[in-house]
Amino acid sequence: MTTQTSLKLGFIGLGIMGTPMALHLVKAGHQLHVFTYGKVHEDITSSTAKVCKTSKEVAQAADIIFIMVPDTPDVGAVLFNEDGVAAGITKGKTVVDMSSISPIETKQYAKKINDLGCDYLDAPVSGGEVGAKAASLTIMVGGPEAAFAKVKPLFELMGKNITLVGGNGDGQTCKVANQIIVALNIAAVGEALLFASKAGADPAKVRLALMGGFAASRILEVHGERMIKRTFAPGFRISLHQKDLNLALSGARALGVALPQTANAAQLMQACAANGMQDLDHSGLVRALEIMANHTVAPDPKA
């Protein structure tokens, strides 16, 4: 049973995050039109969602169109290619970009969509694949209050901590800040567990002890466990986090701000990428530290 009237929705980008997010909208009883550049997951094809051939077709069918693709140029292509969203929307529709992209480009995209008589929200998320599946994502929104109020019930189907941060671009700025904090925490947890392991302590027991103190964090809980169990299958790839840190550093240059620890975390991720590990989960940043120390936090259980 759904608590609100069924809406005509669109969803473009059905990857690791997009697929479960789209499924929450379908399960709530909404009419969903979808498009993705890759293979459509069987959970989508076996649902009531209609698979479209282009982003334009999605925009023609839906009143609110969600986008969840990897990077800034991808959003630009989805919106403004010949068969893009802008070619299909009509006045009064709403575009919601849930990708993590450049705040500067976001403001430009929003203006172009606004000029077509449509609202634009930038609404990047945090919580990874786990949060997407559990509908517990943190959603950081930039855009007009009226559009936010209209879309908020749909955000609530995908996330729990939903905040209107400010105008267009502010959601993306908030997400960049989030990614700075996450990256630095992953690096800190990696260094701490590596230090403990090299010193001869059991890193699993060290982690448990730290979970009860001031050092406790979601990163220590989830990614610390990944480092110990060596489970680096991607929930959020290093390559994508690299992209986000590059947004932070390019933005910092434009603003005249120094972000030395962010730069260091970006270099650790680059070291992973240079060793062919760009598709690991971002908790795999610890591998760069391990290479430098010639020591691993814990042995590979498969070895």
Catalytic pick from 56, 93, 133, 175? Answer: 175
**What single-letter amino acid sits at 126?**
S
**Residue that has been written with the tokens 């379908």 in this structure:** 26
Q: Checking DSSP bridges between strand 8-12 and strand 64-67, what pairing results, if any?
A: parallel
Give whole-number Cα distances, 172 to 65, 105, 161, in Å.
Answer: 18, 10, 16
Strands 119-122 and 125-126, by their bridges, are: unpaired
Say how far apart CA 203 and CA 286 lie, in whole Å: 13
Q: How many CA atoms lie within 13 A of 1 on its CB side?
A: 1
Q: CA torsion 234→235→236→239, rounded to 10°?
A: 10
| Catalytic residue flag (residue 175) | yes
Asked whether 8 and 31 are in contact (CB, 8 A), the reply is yes
Which residues are known catalytic residues?
175
